[in-house]
């Protein structure tokens, strides 16, 4: 079994490919394929469970294959199986099966039936990769899949305004998680000097030895992991995305945001527990985050007037408790809590439409106006203030805007005086000048270590321009491509970054970038004024192009479908551990890249269609 | 404000709010869902004119798309002869061939932007500020918290005499403020702040106030609509709230000023001072464009193609005299509901000696109902009626299981943790159970639970007891009047069978916030079981029978009335027959068999549209699958409700019994001979036009514009405060019908067919202005069938015109059973041959 763990990924992958081949009208085939996939997966899970127990529940690890090897750098697809894997994998397979069964009828005749099941299976692939991953690199592949499938499911009703808006919003929070994990990977390279696998974290002495050597770096890694986990599990202050993610069909909300996706942060902490558990400070912080979240989310849940957001906040509060349990080292309890909470919230979400039937009936019997609650015993002033604060979700939703995206946008707006053409010129000049300086030999080499910062800064400028461009899509797209090039140049100056690495990194970018240009050009030649100042919703009339463009977008954001994904990881391995600034600049530009790209996709292909021959909902609907 | 008053600039708060109220959606909270004409506000205009205005002003689509009509034409559903007739009328000056070519191949511009929202869009255009996304989320949250009926655990802490007062109380007594701007705070705290004052700051020019308010409120018609409904009918909430449209507009405007102040400081010019271009006034006259005429020509031809087939079918199969020598085996009264059509057909097929009737399902008895152990009254009659009577259920042993998944405990922190680690592990098994073998659960709204079969009802009022101004029960005289009215209106005044069933109907669905929309519309969205039982009790009452006899209605002593409930989703029936005489017990047992078999067939007929029903080996098999649908958590279409409704036929059963109308017709029994003056007819039409017309038009508009006039897909719906649904958590409420309810509906207006002399029909509809409006403005069509000759008369422009039909070759029922198994689409009109009657 140990050597065949990849079957858990191959089965849903096969299902996914089969689904892709079906006609979107053949509902029965589509749901049958999905169900068969899920049943096969469950069967495999039971087989594996029997074997695992028979062997006395050992830890299984298997380095499946090496994706890329270069000197001391290797990208190994590595699988790992322990108790946490077992629980997450089992709960996941079981719930996805139930929800597929449920959706088979529930989604009947819905536009996007096929899209729904493909998304679900895609998500399932990502989920399995994450829980089976044996190292950060493998985990990151699954992580990216989770992010993008979440985006697509939230924006399932892609021709309405709010789902698209909220999908972008949630994606932006996920992107912060991605940054955390990228930085954690970067630091880990330096902390361990090799690509560490999770199994090696079990060597207590080894871990302790490294911690004593460089505890600051250790704490930094732990914090990066924590931030990632917090973002993904909607912990304070990231909580407000969860209720907003409930835009898709009810079963998808149930599986993603009621149960599986939202517990992935907990899993990440469980998986890395052996790394951070010996450090009290880390445990304190995790516990504190958990307590704060549990408290705040509970109060917010109490004032919610909509059933789905009530369930969402209750679930967040429970996850907060799981963080506390993690900090106490009660890992088994965490697993039980996770499974129970996932089951309970999935069920609650699935039956949420019936809350009217139930509660109205209940009121007919037991109505008492204005039930006294605990809070009524508070002093009036505190009671009112707390109520309003909870109603406004502790202003968490505006928090991200106020402190991150709006300043970024303002910064970008300040740069609006810079014409797009100048940016290309600037990049070119910088290249020429650097080259000239280097030619000076000794004297030039003296300045060499500034170059990476210069180019990374140019890269940031570019991506800021791209991110804040409100109209010209071609320029925006171009800025993103150029941004990647500048990042590559920056790293080339930083260290021996060979041409084949550059090729690896930029290969995907160039292909995806060209494809994107081609598609945008085609739309423009068809008379669509493709620009970014409004939604165009072209997926409705150009389904296939939309899909192709989505692939181009993924390519451009370093999604694991092109070599750029490897290159991204490689780039970080070439940033020294003391080069925090460079790492941050590079990381930040990846994050903004992703956002800018997804925004372009959303503006061109999602939202209300430009032509009103299609029924159009209210913007507020 | 009407079109003529366009020029006025004087702003009257009261008038404008009144006008706004008129145009906002009027859907009540979910538990009281009752169908109504979605575009009721345009009903004082002719249908075509109304659709045009609704489209140009509000952007509501009133027709199918050009493409859909062209497809209908290609598929033959629009008859070419009729289309040409309509072209000749609507394009009098143009050549037929040219028009036809334009209609079938012409290209027309694809976009149109309505007037609504144009003025307010200047914030975005000129001021570069997106007020909606800054204001809506908070506003919706506050409103939903304030109006919430029981989802939140910690409910809105203040109830200081209305919404505004509560917000002021907040402001006074909380740390921090709702608003950032000082002047807004001052405006809020000053109770004398008027809308005019606030709009002066915001809009600046009185001339645009009205338009601005419309723009603002129509950016979220769902919430505005519910506020307006609750303002007018606070009792529609169990936990009452005082809120008004005025408060909403005022508060929202304050929020807008607050945002503007935050962005621009206190010096910014009102919107009217910086208009890029002057928008057209909302209610400025609108004009027909060629495309709108084409659309309605298509539409009229589409309707007419169907109507004429129906009328052909009626004329070719009708039986003038249905006098039969013997007394029927039994008689059964049903609701006029279109879903009862096929049920009645099967009963008559199985027992050709019986006779069935249709009448609005509250059976002429109007009252409030108070179930035992419950705290509230439920109205059991059409929504616009306000009864003076109360009927109480007593002596029930039914109790209610509570269910942890809905309990606040599961949302708490510690209890939530304990529950998730224990009860959480049971949840998936509950789900599996429902997936594999669904049964009634707490997520189900079951029609039979409406009334406990074994409980007593306080139907008779002996001592004049009252409760809250309502008389408990009816006196004998009051009963007699009601029984007489019902019997006469359906033409049942002699030849009473030993058993007369009074069969109300209800529906069952699971996991469905719109459950009330499936029940009996004539009972205000409840099941009709109580009404059936009440009328039976009255008609069985010895004293009542004496009075009836004195008025010429002789009900034999051995005749017994029996109440019953037909569940239209599950196709089950339950009788309230507790005191039958011995002879009738036997008869009833036989009849019950007939009903049950008819229900099997009925469910088989319904199943043709259900993809989940795969095993069609026998009717009983199918029936079981149909029952499962009603209790499945994952079945968004427990039944199709009124979808495809198109007709309302008022006349003797002989007119319709030989024709297959595919469950598309409301059937109201009526005998012109008993009612030469049209007095009962007046009663029937006064109810049928708004009730059936309302149902029909709600389906119509939800179908043609499911995004703006309907609720969109129900799959992402999120229940807000138990009063409405929204998409996701940030969205506006979505009134109207979800797409799952209307997708198979063919949007045609209701055709009311009355069997009476044309002059009587005309006089009858003109008796009451509100009723007449429906016909005059063509929101429903009307045809009179001459009761003694095969002649038709069509109402048009104040007169009944003799009507001739195109020739249609109708199918006979040779292949009907095949069609009923496999055809997904609406079936054509088919002539029946088996029915004995």
- What would the pLDDT profile of B97-140 be if each residue is shown by its tens digit? 999 999 999 998 776 788 999 999 999 888 889 999 899 999 99
Q: Is B566 exposed, middle or buried (0-12, 13-18, 19+ CB in 10 A)?
A: buried
Residues of chain A with Cβ-Cβ distance to B374 below 8 Å are: 364-365
Question: What is the structure's pLDDT at B5?
Answer: 44
CB contact under 8 A, A301 and B153: yes
Write out the DSSP string of B447-508.
Answer: GGGGS-TTSEE--B-SS--EETTEEESB-HHHHHHHHHHHHHHHT--S---SEEEEEEEE--
Q: Any idea which of A509-518, B106-115, B163-172, B505-514 has the lowest mean pLDDT? A: B106-115
Q: What is the mean pLDDT of residues A15-28?
A: 93
More confident residue, B329 or B277: B329
Residue-wise pLDDT tens digits, B236-258: 888 889 999 999 999 999 999 99
Confidence at residue B1, expressed as pLDDT on a 0 to 100 scale: 39
**Residue A131 pLDDT class (50, 70, 90 cuts):** very high
- Over the stretch B721-737, which tens digit does the pLDDT of each residue have? 999 999 988 899 999 99
What's the average model confidence in pLDDT over B258-275? 90
- Tell whether A621 is within 8 A of chain B (Cβ): yes
My answer on whether B417 and B485 are in the same domain is: yes
* DSSP letter for each residue of A258-313: IITGGGHHHHHHHHTHHHHTT-HHHHHHHHHHHHHHHHHHHHHHHH--BHHHHHHH
Q: With cut-offs at 50, 70 and 90, classify the pLDDT of residue A69.
A: confident
At a CB cut-off of 8 Å and minimum separation 6, what does A595 contact? Answer: A168, A171, A172, A175, A467
Chain B neighbors of A615, CB-CB under 8 A: 61, 705-708
List b or e across B151-169, with b for residues whose CB sees 16 or more CB atoms inside 10 angstroms. Answer: bbbbbbbbbeeebbebbbb
Same domain, B233 and B364: no
Last residue of a domain, one of B622, B641, B660: B641
Does B227 lie in the same domain as B335? Answer: no
Kindly state the tokens that stand for A321: 């408790």
Phi, psi angle pair for A132, to nearest 5°: -100, -5
- The residue among A92, A119, A91, A89 whose CA lies nearest residue A103 is A119
The mean pLDDT value for B355-380 works out to: 92
Only one residue has tokens 């149902």, namely B695
Backbone angles phi, psi at B564, to 5 degrees: -160, 165
Averaged over B755-761, what is the pLDDT?
96
Cβ atoms B472, B466 nearer than 8 A: yes
Cβ-contact B796, B625 below 8 angstroms: no
What pLDDT does B379 receive?
A: 92
For residue A164, pLDDT over 90 is answered with yes
Helices (H), A133-203: 136-154, 161-192
On whether residue B333 sits in a domain, the answer given is yes
Give the pair of three-digit tokens for residue B625.
């699958």
Tell me whether residues B425 and A392 touch, CB distance under 8 A. no
Q: Give domain status of residue B806, yes or no.
A: no
The verdict on residue B202 lying in a domain is yes
Q: How confident is the model at residue B2 (pLDDT cuts 50, 70, 90)?
A: very low
Question: How far is A25 from chain B, CA to nearest CA, in Å?
Answer: 14
Query: Which of B641, B666, B701 is the C-terminal boundary of a domain?
Result: B641
Domain that holds residue B348: 323-396+408-641
Question: Per-residue confidence at A191, pLDDT binned at 50, 70, 90?
Answer: confident
pLDDT at A611: 67
pLDDT, tens digit, 9 for 90 and up, residues B808-818: 998 888 888 88
How high is the pLDDT of residue A422?
84
The chain A residue lying nearest B421, using CA atoms, is A340
Strand partners of residue B503: B564
Q: How many helices (H) and strands (E) does chain B have?
A: 27, 24
> How far does the CA of residue B304 sit from the closest CA of chain A (Å)?
25
In a domain, B579, yes or no: yes
Q: Which residue has the higher pLDDT, A209 or B803?
A: B803
Whether the pLDDT of residue B836 is over 70: the answer is: no
- Identify whether residues B230 and B340 lie together within a single domain: no
**Structural contact between residues B726 and A306, judged by C-beta atoms closer than 8 angstroms:** yes
The 10 Å CB-count burial string (b at 16+, else e) for A378-398 is eeeeebbbbbbbbbbbbebbb
A142 CB contacts (<8 Å, ≥6 apart)?
A125, A126, A127, A128, A129, A130, A131, A133
The structural domain count of chain B equals 2
Asked if B384 and B524 touch (Cβ cutoff 8 Å), the reply is no
Q: Which of B349, B426, B404, B317 is nearest to B656 (CA)?
A: B317
Can you tell me the mean pLDDT for A308-315?
95
Q: Does B334 lie in the same domain as B270?
A: no
Q: Which of B274, B296, B315 is the last residue of a domain?
A: B274
DSSP state of B404: G
Same domain (yes/no): B350, B230: no
Which A residues 18-77 touch B at CB under 8 Å? Answer: 27
Mean pLDDT score of chain A: 89
Alpha carbon of residue A314 to chain centroid? 22
d(CA B23, CA B20): 5
State the pLDDT at residue B834: 59
The answer to whether the CB atoms of B634 and A103 lie below 8 A apart is yes
Of B145, B512, B730, the CB nearest to A162: B730
What is the tens place of the pLDDT at every residue in B57-68? 999 999 999 999
CB distance B421–A337 less than 8 Å? yes
Residue B486 counted as domain residue: yes
**pLDDT, mean over chain B:** 91
Cα→Cα distances B513→A314, B30, B434, B525, Å: 22, 7, 18, 13
Same domain, B260 and B349: no
Tell me which residue in B417, B442, B734 faces A321 most closely, judged by beta carbons: B417
Q: Give the confidence band of A46 by pLDDT, cuts at 50, 70, 90.
A: very high
Question: Is the alpha carbon torsion for A260, A266, A269, A271 positive or negative?
Answer: negative
| Domain-located, residue B660 | no
Whole-number Å distance between alpha carbons of B434 and A350: 12
| Other Cβ atoms within 10 Å of B291 Cβ, number | 14
Residue B71 belongs to a domain: no
- B714 versus A375: the higher-pLDDT residue is B714
pLDDT of A75 > 50? The answer is: yes
B330: helix, coil or strand? coil
- Provide the chain A residues 247-286 that lie in CB contact (below 8 A) with chain B: 247-251, 253
Same domain, B212 and B337: no
Q: Name every chain A residue with its beta carbon within 8 A of the beta carbon of B152.
A: 302-305, 310
Question: Does a structural domain hold residue B779?
Answer: no
Question: B491: pLDDT confidence band, cut at 50, 70 and 90?
Answer: very high
Distance CA A245, CA A167 (A): 7
Are B239 and B350 in the same domain? no
Contact indicator for B2, B22 with CB cutoff of 8 Å? no
Question: Residue B792 pairs with which residues in a beta bridge?
Answer: B785, B803
Q: Do B406 and A355 touch (CB under 8 A)?
A: yes
Same domain, B242 and B357: no
Within 8 A of A373 by CB-CB distance, chain B residues are 153-155
Residue of A nearest to B428 (CA): A343
Confidence band, pLDDT 50/70/90 cuts, at residue B398: low
Looking at the structure, do residues B229 and B357 belong to the same domain, yes or no? no
Q: In a mutagenesis test of the A interface, which of B225, B730, B738, B740 is the best target, namely the one with the most A β-carbons within 10 Å?
A: B730
Averaged over A433-439, what is the pLDDT?
79
What is the per-residue pLDDT across B189-231, written as a single tens digit (0 to 9) for each? 999 999 999 999 999 999 999 999 999 999 999 999 999 999 9
* In a shared domain, residues B447 and B567: yes
Are B811 and B81 in contact by the 8 Å Cβ rule? The answer is no
d(CA A551, CA B434): 39
User: Angle at CA B402, nearest 5°, toward B399 and B403?
Assistant: 150
- Mean local confidence (pLDDT), A233-249: 93
- Are the C-beta atoms of B382 and B688 separated by less than 8 Å? no
> Looking at chain A, which residue has its C-alpha nearest residue B730?
A244
Q: Is A120 in the B-facing interface, judged by CB distances under 8 Å?
A: no
Q: Work out the pLDDT band at A431, boundaries 50, 70, 90.
A: confident
B676-685 in b/e form (b: 16+ CB < 10 A) is eebebbbbbb
pLDDT tens, residue by residue, B762-778: 999 999 999 999 999 99
DSSP letters spanning A44-90: HHHHHHHHHHHTTSPPEEEEEEEEEEETTEEEEEEEEE-HHHHHHHH
Name residues 391-410 of chain A within 8 A of B (Cβ). 391-392, 397
């Amino acid at each position: 079994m140990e050597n065949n763990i990849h079957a858990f990924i191959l089965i849903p992958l096969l299902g996914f490919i089969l689904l892709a081949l079906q006609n979107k009208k053949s509902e029965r085939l589509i749901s049958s394929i999905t169900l068969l996939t899920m049943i096969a997966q469950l069967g495999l899970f039971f087989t594996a469970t029997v074997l695992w127990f028979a062997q006395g529940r050992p830890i299984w690890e298997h380095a499946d294959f090496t994706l890329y090897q270069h000197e001391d750098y290797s990208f190994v697809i590595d699988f790992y199986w322990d108790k946490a894997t077992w629980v997450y994998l089992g709960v996941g397979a079981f719930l996805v099966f139930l929800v597929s069964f449920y959706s088979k009828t529930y989604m009947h005749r819905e536009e996007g039936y096929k899209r729904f099941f493909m998304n679900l299976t895609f998500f399932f692939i990502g989920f399995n990769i994450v829980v089976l991953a044996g190292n950060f690199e493998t985990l990151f592949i699954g992580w990216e899949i989770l992010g993008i499938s979440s985006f697509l499911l939230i924006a399932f009703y892609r021709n309405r305004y709010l789902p698209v808006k909220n999908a972008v919003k949630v994606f932006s929070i996920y992107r912060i998680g991605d940054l955390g994990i990228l930085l954690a990977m970067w630091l880990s390279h330096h902390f361990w000097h090799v690509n560490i696998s999770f199994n090696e974290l079990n060597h207590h002495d080894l871990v302790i030895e490294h911690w004593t050597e460089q505890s600051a770096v250790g704490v930094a890694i732990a914090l990066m992991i924590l931030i990632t986990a917090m973002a993904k599990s909607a912990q304070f202050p990231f909580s407000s995305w969860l209720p907003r993610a409930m835009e898709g069909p009810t079963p998808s909300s149930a599986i993603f945001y009621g149960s599986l996706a939202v517990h992935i942060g907990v899993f990440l902490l469980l998986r890395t527990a052996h790394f951070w558990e010996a450090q009290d400070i880390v445990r304190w912080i995790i516990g504190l985050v958990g307590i704060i979240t549990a408290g705040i989310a509970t109060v917010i849940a109490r004032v919610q007037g909509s059933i789905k957001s009530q369930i969402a906040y209750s679930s967040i509060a429970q996850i907060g408790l799981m963080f506390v349990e993690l900090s106490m080292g009660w890992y088994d309890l965490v697993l039980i809590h996770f499974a129970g909470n996932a089951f309970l919230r999935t069920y609650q979400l699935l039956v949420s439409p019936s809350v009217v039937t139930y509660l109205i009936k209940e009121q007919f019997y037991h109505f008492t106006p204005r039930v006294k609650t605990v809070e009524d015993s508070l002093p009036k002033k505190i009671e009112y203030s707390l109520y309003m604060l909870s109603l406004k979700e502790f202003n968490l939703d505006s928090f991200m805007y106020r402190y991150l995206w709006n300043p970024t946008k303002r910064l970008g707006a300040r740069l609006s005086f810079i014409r797009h053409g100048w940016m290309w010129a600037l990049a070119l000049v910088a290249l020429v000048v650097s080259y000239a300086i280097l030619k000076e030999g000794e004297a030039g080499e003296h300045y060499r270590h500034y170059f990476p910062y210069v180019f990374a800064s140019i890269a940031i400028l570019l991506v800021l321009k791209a991110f804040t461009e409100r109209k010209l899509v071609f320029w925006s797209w171009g800025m993103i491509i150029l941004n990647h090039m500048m990042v590559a140049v920056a790293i080339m100056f930083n260290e021996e970054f060979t041409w084949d690495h550059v090729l690896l990194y930029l290969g995907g970018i160039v292909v995806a970038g060209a494809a994107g240009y081609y598609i945008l050009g085609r739309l423009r030649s068809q008379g669509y004024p493709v620009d970014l100042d409004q939604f165009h919703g072209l997926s409705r009339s150009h389904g296939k192009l939309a899909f192709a463009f989505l692939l181009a977008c993924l390519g451009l954001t370093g999604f694991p479908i092109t070599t750029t994904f490897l290159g991204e990881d490689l780039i970080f391995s070439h940033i020294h551990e003391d080069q925090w600034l460079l790492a941050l600049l590079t990381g930040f530009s990846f994050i903004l890249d992703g956002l800018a790209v997804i925004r372009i996709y959303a503006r061109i292909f999602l939202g209300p269609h430009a032509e009103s021959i299609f029924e159009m909902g209210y913007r507020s609907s | 404000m009407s079109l003529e008053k366009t020029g006025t600039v004087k702003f009257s708060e009261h008038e404008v709010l009144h006008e706004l109220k008129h145009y906002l959606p009027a859907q009540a909270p979910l538990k009281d869902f009752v169908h109504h004409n979605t575009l009721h506000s345009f009903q004082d205009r002719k249908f075509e004119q109304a659709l045009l205005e609704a489209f140009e002003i509000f952007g509501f689509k009133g027709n199918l798309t050009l493409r859909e009509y062209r497809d209908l034409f290609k598929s033959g559903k629009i008859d070419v002869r009729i289309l040409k007739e309509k072209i000749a009328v609507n394009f009098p000056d143009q050549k037929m061939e040219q028009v036809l070519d334009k209609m079938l191949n012409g290209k027309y511009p694809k976009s149109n932007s309505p007037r609504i929202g144009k003025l307010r869009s200047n914030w975005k255009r000129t001021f570069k500020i997106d007020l909606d996304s800054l204001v809506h989320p908070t506003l919706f949250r506050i409103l939903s918290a304030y109006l919430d009926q029981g989802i939140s655990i910690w409910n809105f802490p203040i109830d200081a005499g209305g919404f505004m007062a509560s917000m002021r109380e907040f402001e006074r007594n909380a740390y921090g403020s709702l608003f950032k701007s000082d002047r807004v705070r001052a405006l809020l705290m000053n109770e004398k702040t008027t809308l005019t004052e606030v709009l002066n700051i915001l809009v600046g020019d009185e001339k645009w106030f009205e338009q601005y308010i419309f723009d603002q409120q129509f950016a979220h018609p769902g919430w505005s609509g519910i506020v307006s409904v609750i303002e007018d009918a606070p009792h529609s909430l169990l936990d009452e709230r005082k809120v008004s449209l005025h408060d909403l507009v005022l508060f929202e405007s304050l929020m807008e000023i607050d945002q503007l102040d935050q962005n621009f400081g206190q010096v910014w010019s009102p919107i009217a001072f910086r208009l890029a271009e002057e928008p057209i006034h909302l209610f400025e006259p609108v004009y027909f464009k060629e495309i709108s005429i084409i659309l309605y020509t298509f539409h009229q031809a589409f309707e007419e193609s169907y109507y004429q087939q129906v009328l052909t079918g009626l004329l070719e199969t009708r039986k003038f005299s249905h006098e039969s020598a013997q007394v029927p085996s039994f008689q059964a009264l049903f609701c006029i509901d279109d879903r009862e059509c096929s049920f009645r057909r099967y009963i008559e097929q199985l027992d050709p000696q019986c006779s069935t009737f249709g009448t609005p399902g509250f059976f002429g008895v109007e009252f409030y109902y108070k179930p035992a152990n419950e705290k509230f009254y439920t109205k059991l009659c059409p929504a616009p009626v306000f009864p003076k009577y109360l009927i109480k259920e007593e002596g029930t042993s039914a109790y209610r299981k509570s269910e942890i998944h809905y309990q606040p405990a599961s949302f708490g922190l510690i209890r939530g943790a304990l529950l998730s680690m224990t009860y959480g592990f049971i949840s998936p098994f509950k789900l599996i159970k429902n997936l594999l073998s669904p049964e009634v659960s707490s997520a189900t709204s079951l029609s039979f639970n409406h009334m406990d079969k074994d409980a007593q009802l306080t139907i008779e009022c002996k001592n004049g007891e009252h409760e809250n101004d309502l008389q408990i029960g009816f006196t004998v005289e009051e009963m007699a009047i009601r029984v007489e009215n019902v019997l006469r209106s359906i033409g049942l005044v002699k030849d009473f069978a030993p058993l007369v069933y009074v069969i109300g109907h209800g529906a069952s669905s699971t996991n469905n916030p719109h459950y009330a929309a499936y029940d009996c519309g004539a009972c205000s969205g409840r099941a009709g079981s109580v009404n059936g039982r009440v009328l039976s009790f009255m008609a069985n009452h010895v004293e009542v029978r004496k009075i009836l006899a004195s008025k010429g209605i002789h009900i034999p002593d051995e005749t017994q009335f029996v109440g019953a409930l037909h569940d239209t989703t599950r196709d089950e029936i339950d009788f309230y027959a507790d005191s039958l005489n011995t002879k009738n017990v036997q008869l009833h047992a036989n009849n019950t068999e007939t009903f049950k078999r008819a229900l099997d067939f009925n469910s088989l007929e319904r199943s043709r549209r259900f993809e989940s029903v795969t095993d069609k080996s026998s009717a009983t098999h199918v029936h079981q699958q149909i029952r499962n649908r009603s209790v499945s958590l994952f079945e968004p279409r427990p039944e199709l409700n009124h979808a495809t409704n198109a007709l309302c036929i008022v006349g003797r059963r002989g007119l319709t019994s030989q024709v297959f109308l595919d469950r598309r017709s409301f059937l109201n029994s009526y005998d012109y001979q008993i009612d030469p003056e049209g007095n009962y007819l007046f009663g029937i039409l006064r109810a049928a036009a708004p009730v059936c017309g309302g149902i029909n038009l709600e389906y119509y508009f939800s179908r043609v514009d499911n995004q703006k006039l309907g609720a969109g897909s129900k799959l992402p719906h999120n229940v807000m405060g138990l009063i409405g649904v929204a998409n996701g958590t940030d969205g506006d409420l979505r009134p109207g019908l979800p797409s799952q309810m209307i997708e198979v509906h063919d949007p045609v207006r209701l055709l009311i067919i009355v069997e009476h002399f044309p002059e009587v029909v005309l006089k009858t509809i003109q008796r009451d202005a509100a009723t007449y409006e429906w016909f005059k403005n063509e929101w429903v069509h009307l045809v009179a069938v001459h009761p003694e000759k095969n002649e038709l008369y069509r109402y048009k422009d104040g007169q009944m015109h003799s009507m001739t039909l195109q020739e249609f070759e109708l199918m006979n029922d040779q292949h009907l059973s095949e069609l009923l198994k496999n055809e997904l689409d609406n079936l054509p009109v088919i002539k029946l041959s088996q029915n004995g009657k």
